[in-house]
Homo-oligomer: A and B are copies of this chain.
Amino acid sequence: MLRKVREYIWEEKLLEPGKKVLLGVSGGPDSMALLHIMHKLTTEMDLGLAVLHLNHGLRPEAAAEEEFVREHCRNWGIDFYSRQADIRALALQEKKTLEEAGRDCRYRYFFEQLEELQADYIATAHHQDDQAETVLLHLLRGSGLKGLRGIMPRKGQLLRPLLALSKAEIIHYLDENQIPYCLDQSNNDLKFLRNRIRCELIPYLQKAYNPRIMESLNQLAGIARDENDYLEKQLHFSWDKLLLWQEPGVIVLDKKALGEEHPALQKRLILEALARLRGESGWELKDVQRILRLLDQSGSSKYIQLKQGLRVSSVYQELHFTNRPLREGSFCYPISVPGRLSIPETGESYIIELGQPVTFQPGLSSCLDYDKLKQPLVLRSRQPGDRFQPSGMKGSKKVKDYFIDIKLPLEQRDRVPLLTSGETVYAIVGYRVSRLAEVDAESCRILIIRKENT
């Protein structure tokens, strides 16, 4: 058993010599086995150990269990830390199930201690039976490759060295070494989905379909972990090629490059964009499929409104993901020179080209010294706090105040595109150019932005 865990630690590269590891020990069979096995590995792996125990205060035996673990650590000469929590109150307060509140509180405590004790890792006692349950749980809820990975042997500073062992092996180890442990009856409470999987579904599957189902599910988890990792690496490699523009609330991808990727990567890339704007969870395959259909559509702009206020629009060669509210009509598009930009939010289009300065017509066009501009360039609507340095003036001015000065009607102000790069405003297109971008005697390349006749 010891050999299996040692090999697993080595194969999964979980631990290096000289590290300090905190063990989460409830006093149950799994964590008592973890404690004993890790204690035996201490010398050969040159580890520093300490034990963490969160007293959930849910069951009458809680105090006795804490004392049991403390006593055990004292005998073995291992540092022991514990905290008392009122999980029932927390669950009510944070609107979680007891199970969720307990887990969240436990990990919060573990990671606080990780920092306070300046330790390197936390190890928990998850094993192969837990792994099989987790894989099934994800399968039943609906999952892709990611969910099938189940419990990770290593997730940041969190380690699960006992994933090398089955529950039966752990019990055998405890018996053989006469290690005492506490039994938590709430693990058999069938109102928890996970317990139902453990106590009902798995035994049924073992009996009626495959006695080695645990092994199969663990193997699947391993394959899924490997292959998902590979796909994520490929995803990030492609992401860097596809991403044209990113700023808070906006992601712009290269439509053609996305279209050239393999369908499997296309879907992952789209999910990545959605996740960066609105988190990983809650997206369905059908959301991704709707977005994919945008790829085939050419010509003028198309939109999709998704949940959580997220919009995706196809704008010529680009796919724009944004979670900025539509009611404000704000927009933000990278430009290409020469090019043509259609702004769906205002219904107006702009021609962008290098050429001879054109006669100034208010509201219609702007000419700038192209060589004075920093890339990348963006046409966007004004934002609170925008300032610029109007040509022919000293100092800077709020864009808002400029609009007030020229008496532009309020409802038109959000429709006027600003030419910007980062925080710098180069032009209020059709109205005023910044001193920083002014055409002068030495200008070589003149950038002209003009509104298309509609």
A residues with CB within 8 A of B? 139-145, 193, 196-197, 200-201, 204-205, 208-210, 212-213, 215-217, 219-220, 222-224, 226-227, 229-231, 233-234, 262-265, 267, 285
Contact = CB atoms under 8 A, between A and B. Distances in A.
A263 B228 CA distance: 11
A227 B142 contact: no
Given A140-B210, A208-B196, A145 B227 contact: yes
Contacts of A216: 139-143
Nearest to A210: B140
B264 A212 contact: no
Contacts of A209: 140, 193, 196-197, 201
Contacts of A215: 142
A226 B267 contact: yes
A210 to B, nearest CB: 5
Nearest to A213: B140
A137 to B, nearest CB: 9
A210 B267 contact: no
Contacts of A263: 226, 229-230
A201 B140 CA distance: 12
A398 to B, nearest CB: 50
Contacts of A142: 210, 212, 215-216, 219-220
Please report whether the interface of chain A is mostly helix, strand, loop or mixed according to DSSP: helix
Contacts of A210: 140-142
A140 to B, nearest CB: 4
A267 to B, nearest CB: 7
Contacts of A213: 140
B233 A262 contact: yes
A132 to B, nearest CB: 11
A229 B262 contact: yes
Closest 8 CB pairs of A and B: A142-B216, A230-B264, A226-B264, A140-B209, A227-B264, A144-B223, A230-B262, A140-B210
Most buried by B among A217, A222, A223, A224: A223
B285 A223 contact: yes
Contacts of A197: 209
B144 A264 contact: no
Nearest to A233: B262
Nearest to A285: B219
Contacts of A262: 226, 229-230, 233
A146 to B, nearest CB: 10
Contact of A230 (B196, B201, B226, B265): B265
Nearest to A265: B230
B229 A264 contact: yes
A289 to B, nearest CB: 9
Nearest to A292: B11
Contacts of A201: 205, 208-209
Contacts of A227: 145, 227, 231, 264
A202 to B, nearest CB: 11
A381 B198 CA distance: 57
